[in-house]
Amino acid sequence: MSTTWVVDSNCFIHLGSMAQDNLLEDLRKSIPQGLYVTPGVHKEVRTVRFQRWKNKPNLLDKLNPILTTIAVDDGQIRGLAEQIGERAAPQDVDLSLMVLASKLSREGREV
């Protein structure tokens, strides 16, 4: 079974600053099912650009073909935050990714 990758904003920010222009080809080969995110990740990285690529293209524009974006119910995010404890809970976007990973795992995927 191949691994399903749920990726947070920090990963994309790092890719924007460090990735070479063969990134998309490499990701397609190594992770053929693509990367999974929630809409909040799009919001957090909407202005990130590939710094080492010619003309510094927008990261989301280039990676969109390999992204699967799945919305998560706000109630599930709040529920997880309450379980963790409001003071210790990660940001909502991170919580949404945790909920998404759990959902994908329950569907039988290796996350």
Domains and CATH numbers, the chain: 5-106 (3.40.50.1010)
The pTM of the full predicted model, rounded to 2 decimals, is: 0.93
Task: Calculate the CA 77 to chain-centre distance.
Answer: 16
pLDDT digits (tens, 9 = 90+) for 59-81: 999 999 999 999 999 999 999 99
pLDDT of residue 2: 84
Distance, in Å, from the CA atom of 106 to the CA atom of 102, rounded to the nearest integer, reads 6
Average pLDDT estimate for 74-103? 93
pLDDT of residue 9: 98
pLDDT digits (tens, 9 = 90+) for 19-56: 999 999 999 999 999 999 999 999 999 999 999 999 99
pLDDT of residue 88: 82
Residues 47-54: contacts with CB under 8 Å, at least 24 apart: 48/12, 48/13, 48/16, 49/16, 50/15, 50/16, 50/19, 50/21, 50/23, 51/16, 51/17, 51/18, 52/17, 52/18, 52/19, 52/20, 52/21, 53/19, 53/21, 54/21
